[in-house]
């Protein structure tokens, strides 16, 4: 049986200009829900939701990214935070968004492949008819 808990693994994704980001391979359910909570803005009594457009894309990015090679105008390393993500220029944000989307898709495919592998491993062997059975051509 596999472990049902997210293991704290980080992977490095190369970016343009020699930069990189370090991202969590997977989020825990708590991390996913915390990011989603930042995106949900207003909720009325009927369950209708108005998203917090300011946090769209940013909350998920902040949940996944644990480090990066970005520096400020003085050459000082900038820590990853919601405010530092919001301070990025549009092209850099889009590059991060694209890289993170590809990472998430790759991790989802990896999880699905592992599930399929486990399903094949645990599938029972097919039962073959016995020599005396009446299945097949030439039987009466």
List the pLDDT tens digit at each of the 140 positions of the chain. Answer: 567 888 889 999 999 999 999 999 999 998 988 888 887 777 777 777 777 777 778 999 999 999 999 999 999 999 999 999 999 999 999 999 999 999 999 999 988 888 877 656 555 665 555 555 454 555 55
**Which structural domain, as residue segments, surrounds residue 92?**
10-27+57-115
Yes or no: say if 100 and 60 are a contact pair by the CB < 8 Å rule: yes
Residue 138 included in any domain: no
Residue 20 included in any domain: yes
Residue 127 included in any domain: no
Nearest CA among 83, 90, 91, 77 for reference residue 22: 77
Residue 124 included in any domain: no
Q: Is the dihedral of CA 127, 131, 132, 134 positive or negative?
A: positive
Tally of domains in the chain:
1
**pTM assigned to the model:** 0.72
Q: What are phi and psi of 85, to 5 degrees?
A: -65, -40
The neighbour count for residue 96, using CB atoms within 10 Å, is 24
């Amino acid at each position: 049986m596999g472990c049902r808990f997210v293991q704290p693994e980080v992977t490095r994704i190369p970016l343009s200009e020699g930069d990189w980001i370090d991202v969590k391979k997977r989020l825990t359910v708590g991390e996913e829900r915390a990011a989603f909570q930042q995106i949900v803005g207003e909720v009325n009594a009927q369950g209708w939701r108005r998203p917090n457009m300011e946090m769209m894309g940013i909350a998920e990015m902040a949940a996944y990214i644990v480090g990066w090679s970005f520096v400020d105008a003085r050459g000082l390393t900038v820590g990853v935070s919601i405010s530092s993500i919001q301070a990025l220029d549009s092209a850099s944000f889009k590059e991060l968004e694209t890289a993170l989307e590809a990472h998430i898709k790759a991790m989802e495919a990896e999880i699905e492949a592992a599930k399929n592998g486990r399903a094949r491993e645990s599938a029972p062997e097919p039962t073959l008819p016995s020599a005396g059975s009446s299945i097949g051509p030439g039987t009466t």
